[in-house]
Structure 1
């Protein structure tokens, strides 16, 4: 039965992607282009050259962090929709340290990363504390805090940390930036940090007693409380850790890709991460795969448009369809009738 559930959890995202691509192909054909040619250009843009592969990894890195942020919180049964705000607070902390503390080099890099994680964790703790102490909806509080973080960032790059006449902060010094893995490619050690975080999160959730208890709280808070688990403590822990993951992602993005705070920085990463965590069935390692898939679509979209004339908005449609089909598929397989059907089949096979 467990093997069948694992197979279903893998099949739902894969079928969702396949159905989304089929509908995308129909749309492309309706626009008068060749779907096969368009998909060829799409993957050529993502994998055609080492530079394209590196660009795909760069785009995947922040998505992995925000996806893991949502995944960790959701495993505890709480809804952290503040990933974008926590991501921005991590970036703000890293920018503040990197540009105003007068430090440079690898020590400054490590400090910026740590401060980013701390800032994200503190920002994530706010909805957690308000939920535990006051019973406020974490969904509303975390979403509102996203706007606060955006406005705070705007204040910094337009006045407090503004660099000259341009509404942006000063750039992170070269020696403090995350170094590239290969000197001639854009990909930095940020992708390694992201993958390491995914492995650690997966190990904690599925191979430790504390991770088991956190997941037990997520499955049934009432039952967990009757079994002696400190539900409120795990709820608060999940917000702090998920916020720290997003904050670390923000500092990685700032030190490795953007180097400065500007208008529009980090927009959409938080809600993209929520979607990817749900598509991946809240599995940290699967979240990495889904984030990479979305990065492939985004990297190859411009090449597809240049080669075939198909607008990049078609890729946006495909991404949206993947989310819709994945969420719908997950809801369907969790229906009592579907669960009963699989249970009957399992019993019949055991009887034979």
Structure 2
């Protein structure tokens, strides 16, 4: 897939292992979209806050005007927005859309179980993020939304997020266990259900107060169920839509390469087959030009460094060749060398942008 084709999609999901440079590449893709005149949002789920550091974001989000980007040597024709996803605020926004009753929404937001659901449940932050993306996708404010996911194991959570949240709110076994609690609460006869064997057994491990809180939360959760089911179907459709694209980012190592192939299979089963794999931070195979004009001592020092780097670069080329051979037909492989200096601001992202653009052209 060529770069222009990717940037014409509406949603791009960037996945891969930790330390592969997903966040920097996501930001670079957003900047490239801005140079094409497309209004882009880069949204990161990565709690490491690398996007905040690279783009100097404070307060959770930032907008870059074309003029601001042009001043940093990036020929932008549209603005770029970048944001750090806050799961609790995301769930609050989701409830504002899905639960019109203000009092019911207030009770949900203030319930202690809501904090645990929005922050601790596997897949909950991804579900809220996807629901937010779905709203933005339909809102038409952005031409392109790029989602920077956490490392692979957690990055896959967003593909299963709707089902995981649905299973918590709509779990038949849990509902059956809590039915006596709910009925007793509604009838005002709380002591009556405490004599049941199952409830007494559960209470020994959790406490009666916990069971009462859980019952109250599940009652409130029924308000969400119809919309969660509807959203789950919509999210599945979006993930499988031709408007969406998946980009895998990996490092040049045996472990990350194998993980990349596993991830490709997992994403293909759950959504769409990724169309691009980026091997990032490759060791460049360098030589000293004959006309470099180095004095003897400097040349000797550079040659010592190259003797160390040369076998590393050769080993990485072998790994990339095996990875390439394992990719399905139609999946592009883009090789991006390590960029000198730290990518910690727009200038660094501009260097990465130009290198990514050049290497992508070579690959496709």
More helix by share: 1
Greater Cα radius of gyration, structure 1 or 2: 2
TM-score when normalising by structure 1: 0.21
Which one has more relative contact order, counting CA pairs under 8 Å at least 6 apart? 1
TM-score when normalising by structure 2: 0.20
